[in-house]
Amino acid sequence: MSETFKRIIFQLMRLMARKINSFKLFAAILCCISLSACYWAETESNPDSLPIDDSMYPYAGLPRIVIETEDFAGVRDRETEIPSHLQIYGEKAPESEVYELTVRGRGNSSFKMPKYGLKLEFKDKVKLFGMPKNRDWALIANYGDKTHLRNYMMTRLSEWLGAKYTPRMQFVELYLNRKYMGLYLLSESIKVAKNRVNIEENDTTFLVEKEDSKKFDPPYVQSDNGYYYHIKSPKNPSPETEELLLDHIKAFENFAMRPYRYNSNEIVEWIDLDDYLLFYWVHEYSKNEDGNFARSVHFTWKKGEPIHFGPLWDFDLAFGNASREQNKAPEEWYIRRYRLNYYILQNSLVDSAAVVFWKEHHETFKALIDSVPLYRSIIDKAIVNEYRRWPVMKNTENWALKDPYDSYDEAVETMIEWMKQRYQWIDKEIGY
């Protein structure tokens, strides 16, 4: 609290103590309220702490992230970087210094939702919740997942199956410009770094994201089949570097899509089989809509080496939470029916190895089902705050909120039942 504000309060108390007439007292109170409003509307260039009001949304056992943008500017788009401050609160007090950073919107279709994600870029590298230092982080809104569990638990499955890297995540509650925004996942962003995607940064080594044909960011290349590939590393690639990647992608697509290649063991010269099988089964088991080689599919490639699929990302449209009705049932194959996945799994070596992979990791997939109550217990109290702020449990107003539920319990139990049925169906098809 500023010294000016303190003096105003003191003067008001003095007036009250002198028992002045009601008109003067009323005027003094109005003056105090007006000046205090001015105080709370201002943002300091270098604040010692950021205020938080949890009277309506009490502490729920999770860290609370408080962000204030410069001049309380709204987050308008995914491009504009807004200077901001951030502080982490525990139950009763701040548990971090005030950090300087920029904030912008994140997500494609999800950014258009009332509750949206944020991209955070700190001035300096920061270590958050035990995760390795970095400047780049993401706040995932999970607005379209009424359980708020899908993204988090799929990172756990990816780790259990031995993925080289999976973004680390932490449940938090977010306050943005002194407004409670709800339950979020603070996540590492997918980027090249020692403790993230640990590859070389040069003109012959790439981190790539397969993009939707309608939503792609430069720099990117487009294959002969109309697929868009966003180049996340190296940054600012030269035309020659882009051509190197594009030529390899074209050659791989040409190899994979030719029927006479389906019995060829050469496939392992093009893709790392272990990485692909992990990628495939996590998406197939969850029947993740984005995993059908449409978007949010990452891979790395170094000249002279096979393509490595991963890291895994974006699972809010998984486990029955599909935007398209035909994808909601727990039965039937999904990932293996679409785009490059279809052709890769037509290869006899890959297909037989996929069966072995499921059988070897059978209990791991089952363990995910058993772990749902544990993950739910982490956010049980925060869910009360979330749905007080965003009462959408019964809503079906857009593609992200297809299914109505009478309660959070019903949303979770529906997902668990779907997982069980999916697991049993795959077992039957595999012949386990």
Give the range among 9-13, 55-59, 334-338, 415-419 with minimum mean pLDDT. 9-13
Q: Please, what is the average pLDDT of the chain? A: 89
Does 22 score more than 60 pLDDT?
no
What is the sign of the dihedral through the CA atoms of 274, 277, 280 and 283? negative
User: Which pLDDT score is estimated for 293?
Assistant: 86
Residue with the larger pLDDT of the pair 42 and 19: 42
Cross-sheet strand order for the sheet of 220-222? 220-222, 228-233, 205-211, 297-302, 308-309
d(CA 270, CA 208): 15
Q: What percent of the chain has a predicted confidence (pLDDT) above 90?
A: 76
Does 396 score more than 90 pLDDT?
no
d(CA 138, CA 55): 27
d(CA 75, CA 61): 27
Nearest to 222 by CA among 192, 256, 245, 195: 245
User: Which pLDDT score is estimated for 47?
Assistant: 83
- Amino acid letter, 344: I
Tens-digit pLDDT profile for residues 327-341: 899 999 999 999 999
Distance linking the first and last C-alpha atoms of the chain = 65
- Amino acid letter, 318: A
Task: For 245-289, give the DSSP string.
Answer: HHHHHHHHHHHHT-GGGTT-TTHHHHB-HHHHHHHHHHHHHHT-G
- Amino acid letter, 177: N
CB–CB of 258/347 below 8 Å?
Answer: no
User: Which pLDDT score is estimated for 24?
Assistant: 43
User: Which pLDDT score is estimated for 213?
Assistant: 66
Q: How far is CA 262 from CA 98, 337, 342, 346, 347, in A?
A: 57, 15, 11, 6, 4
Residue with the larger pLDDT of the pair 326 and 133: 133
Question: In angstroms, how far is CA 162 from the centroid of its own chain?
Answer: 20
Does 25 score more than 80 pLDDT?
no
Tens-digit pLDDT profile for residues 65-77: 999 999 999 998 8
Does 290 score more than 90 pLDDT?
no
CB–CB of 303/399 below 8 Å?
Answer: no
Residue with the larger pLDDT of the pair 212 and 285: 285
